[in-house]
Amino acid sequence: MTSSPIEQLVARSRRIGAIPALVVHGGGNTSTKMTGRDHLGRERKLLAIKGSGADLATIDASGFTFLFLDGLLTLRTRDKMDDDAMVAFVTHCQAEPLARRPSIETLLHAFLPATNVDHVHADAICALTNGPDARTVVRDALGPRVAFVEYVRPGFALARRVADLADHDAVILAHHGLVTWGEDDTFARTMELVGRASAYLDRRRRTTVPRAPAPSAVDEDFLLRLRGRLARRGRVILHASEDGSIAQRDDLERIAAAGPATADHLLTIGLAPLVVSDAGSIDDAVDRYEKRYTAYWERNRDRAPTGIAMHDPRPRVVLVAGAGTIALAETERRARVIADVAAHTHAVAAMALDAFGDAVSLSDRDLFDIDYWPLELAKLGRPQPKPELAGQVVIVTGAAGAIGSAVAQQVAAAGAHVVITDIDAPRLDAVAEALSHDGHSVMPLVGEISDERFVDRLVSDAIARYGGVDGCVSNAGIAVTGRLADLPTSEWQRSLDVNTSSHFFLTRRLLRALGTQGLGGSLVYVASKNAFDAGAGFGAYSVAKAAQVQIARLAAIEGGSVGVRANVINPDAIFAGSRLWSEELRRSRAAAHGVGVDDLEAFYASRNLLHRGVRAEDVAYAAVFLLSERSSRTTGCVITVDGGLSAAFPR
Ligand code: ZN
């Protein structure tokens, strides 16, 4: 059975999208010309082309937009057309007015008479054009049947130039990519040309490969210092990838100077990576980078659309000599995309350097015209308000429990990347799964929080994964019951280990890391109303919780000079979903209060001033507030979340 033209287009597109050396993260586009019917049932020639933003790797039929070809072809005889007029015209040609906006390269596909057109930003093709004398190199590598077009920003002019070359087999676009066309298998033609380009680069490859610098590591100290400097303009997540091959080269400055391999890479990775050799040179290197970006803006700003301010001048990619690549963004997801695209740009620069001894990119002016391209700026739309904890990394302990999971959920919803820990592996996994399912970035780590080696690893792993840390909700705790007269030493010690020492271990570890990072931070401790209002038969718990409050106060006193805040939340009993409130604890507390087990919850609600039961989410609201800038002038404070208990008022 033969498949429909659109099924064939989807299949071909996915084959291309599956090869990162051809296209990455939404790059490239494909089309086919076919017959279909318009809204009046008339038979029309249609162009089906990838919609803007669709990813060839995962595209389905809904990722394509259909346009009336006869309408588009009326533009073929025009001399010029600006972007706005072109986009407006193309929009009028859509068969479905509300379909997604078609690729900016729509006219290029429409003007070529062939049925199928594929356009990729293949690494090997870009490497051919990103060395000196690209026109000669392309002819040398691919022969006279493949045309070459000097760089021009995608739009009407490029579409016309390519259409004028339709008597060739394919077109290479400088600093951009490859266009192939045909009646049948364009994929094979694309692969054949990319293969020939690769073989040519291999033949030209110099025999002496750049010597590797001494291997170094992106260690914790390096990450904290780097993030500390980069996050001054707003918190960011660092994603480190150890792509040794590039970082081991001794010509990293030349790789960086080569700039983005293509215009669409620029939109993702920015102008150029920052090269850093060691932790000591981070500050100067970032300063120089930001000055360079500002100077580039000043040189070109009169060509920026009116009302547009300078973009964030920070690098988005850092090449660490001998170690690897670090990408930064407000979310880990975005940082990973940047890292992927950067790897291809760096590979293209390396190929060009190895084959031709030089790598060149777009001119300063052409870079700026993409960087501040009104069509791309329009895609970003109105600036959205940032989530309150955007770019932050927060550790939540005891995260499998009622309070911990509610805190993790709200902290993640506020934009933070959460590192959650608990000793209960199945429940922690369930919490992590729910958070990932909602699209949050979460790292679960199972372990015993009263073991200082585990606490050390918890913080190390958080920093290795996200590049730094901004705060914690130190929440893990256990209930230990028994009157002092009967309390075994082991029970007393168990309460002190989990309810006091674990908070000390985390505090000590975080104060050191936050000190190195130099961005301040917020430590939030979930203690208990028992810290101030001890309960009979609950001594080991009450004493340990009082000590926890004292740890928080000391952290506030000692952390203040480096901007680290420390505050406490004192909840009263929370029953729903609680692990702390085991059957045994319920029986024991019911006996202590002289009420039936079934009446315990009602008893706790009735004894407070508001007569309301306390919920886990009430604690989470307070935690998000204490982590956020809204509480930036608050430290050493205790917030009660207990419905109002005068005996437990902070003092
Ligand atoms: Zn393109």
- Rounded Cα–Cα distance for residues 180 and 191 (Å): 10
For residue 279, report the distance from its CA to the centre of ligand 1, in Å. Answer: 37
Residues of the chain with pLDDT under 70: 1-2, 207-216, 243-244, 380-381
Instruction: Return the residue matching tokens 């002819």.
Output: 139
- Rounded Cα–Cα distance for residues 547 and 417 (Å): 29
For residue 139, report the distance from its CA to the centre of ligand 1, in Å. Answer: 21
For residue 44, report the distance from its CA to the centre of ligand 1, in Å. Answer: 27
Query: Quick one: how far is CA 626 from the chain centroid?
Result: 24
The pLDDT assigned to 403 comes to 96
Whether the predicted model's global pTM rises above the 0.85 cut: yes
The pLDDT assigned to 589 comes to 87
For residue 170, report the distance from its CA to the centre of ligand 1, in Å. Answer: 14
- Rounded Cα–Cα distance for residues 531 and 614 (Å): 17
Copy the structure tokens of residue 26.
């939404």
Instruction: Report the 10 Å Cβ neighbour count for 404.
Output: 29
For residue 480, report the distance from its CA to the centre of ligand 1, in Å. Answer: 65
For residue 270, report the distance from its CA to the centre of ligand 1, in Å. Answer: 17
Q: Are 53 and 99 within 8 A, CB to CB? A: no
Model pLDDT for residues 299-336, shown as the tens digit of each residue: 999 999 888 899 999 999 999 988 899 999 999 999 99
For residue 119, report the distance from its CA to the centre of ligand 1, in Å. Answer: 7
Known catalytic residues?
A: 541
Name the nearest CA neighbour of 622 among 605, 609, 636, 640.
640
For residue 175, report the distance from its CA to the centre of ligand 1, in Å. Answer: 10
Secondary-structure breakdown of the chain: helix, strand, coil percentages, each rounded to the nearest 5: 50, 15, 35
Report the amino acid identity of residue 388: E
For residue 240, report the distance from its CA to the centre of ligand 1, in Å. Answer: 28
For residue 121, report the distance from its CA to the centre of ligand 1, in Å. Answer: 6
For residue 576, report the distance from its CA to the centre of ligand 1, in Å. Answer: 55
Model pLDDT for residues 446-463, shown as the tens digit of each residue: 999 999 999 999 999 999
For residue 177, report the distance from its CA to the centre of ligand 1, in Å. Answer: 6
Q: C-alpha distances in angstroms, 7 versus 4, 161, 520?
A: 5, 30, 55
